[in-house]
Amino acid sequence: MNSSAPVPDLSAAIAAALARLPVGLADDRTRHSLEAIARRLPQALATGPLGLEIRLAGPTAVDFFAAAIPGDPGFAALIAVLCNPDRQAGWADPVRARDLAAVLERWQRREGSLPRVARYLLIEVDAPADPAGPVAAPGIFLAPRGTRDLPRPGQLPNAFHRFVEATVMATAELSGVWPDPATATALARVVETIPDDGDLFAVGAMVSRAAGSAMRIAIRRLEPESIHTVLRAAGYPRQADLLAEWAATTPANKQALHFEIGPGAESRVGLELSPAHDWKQARMQGWPELLDHLISRSVADPDRAAVVTGLIDPVGNPLWGLAHVKVAADESGMLPVAKLYVGLLHRSGEI
């Protein structure tokens, strides 16, 4: 980043993002909810990649993502806004926010299980239903040490594969609970079924949504047969049948799973779908076909899908790219809403 360029400001970044979002994707309430998130979070988070989760059917909603690395200004600033007494009224559960700040402080000091297995974090903040009300504490997803973004011959599995118990302990720290041996057993069973090309690339805790020892995991580079095998090993046979069929028949080259394991796990399983290219390439290829398929299967509204590719911007600052869409199933069947994930990246520090 050019040191003479202005530092990105999160409130300005979100305001600029809202100016580009069509009304069909974000109504007035949704826009005010995103502005509420920007007021709660540290402005320094804008220096890294940002993400938006946009519903393609049902009531409009846009949730927010940002990355933070221990030792960077954004990480320290996140700790500060979670534990600052002057900001506590802005969090729906101030005690939980303060506890989460303490966990992140220990990570910053390289204490506990987190620094052993995790390289950085991704926060997910749900847009509040009432923009004038408090915001739920962010969910935290961890990226592993030894990541296998581009697997090489002979490369070892990442830390989540190699250190299952430490990984469970890390997510338990985030949730403020004791690690449950049943969760470690469940994770080990799933890891054994992941094929050589597959990768457990994220684990986390949605600390604001439920209390318990369940952990959320994300696995990428899975073929339909592997999707079926992994989900049956995790105890989701109905979801395995449904999502393996989707993976086999949807025009998408990249596929990943998101689901919970351990005591108290929810039954919803998410399937990520996208063309082969990375979102930072900001390419359109493959997206029209994928969106048309989602419309044909009644998980995306035609009017919303029609404006999605217009969000792509490879030359502006920030760059806008489409990351993936996620469909989901639970024990009752496929859920009627697909969600679109959009990435934003400031390349020079200018808004």
pLDDT, one tens digit per residue, over 88-137 is 568 888 888 999 999 999 999 999 999 999 999 999 998 888 888 888 88
Mean pLDDT score, 297-309: 97
CA distance 250 to 289: 9
Rounded (10°) angle between helices 164-175 and 181-193: 130
pLDDT, one tens digit per residue, over 149-193 is 877 787 889 999 999 999 999 999 998 888 889 999 999 999 999
Radius of gyration of the chain measured on its C-alpha atoms: 19
175: helix, strand or coil: helix
Asked whether the whole model's pTM tops 0.85, one would answer yes
What is the residue-wise DSSP string for 243-309? HHHHHHHSS-SEEEEEEEESTT--S-EEEEEE-SS-GGG---TTHHHHHHHHHHTTSS-HHHHTTTG
Q: What is the pLDDT of residue 4?
A: 46
Banded model confidence at residue 350, pLDDT cuts 50, 70, 90:
very low
Q: What is the pLDDT of residue 85?
A: 60
Banded model confidence at residue 240, pLDDT cuts 50, 70, 90:
very high
In 3D space, the residue among 277, 274, 282 whose CA is nearest the CA of residue 339 turns out to be 274
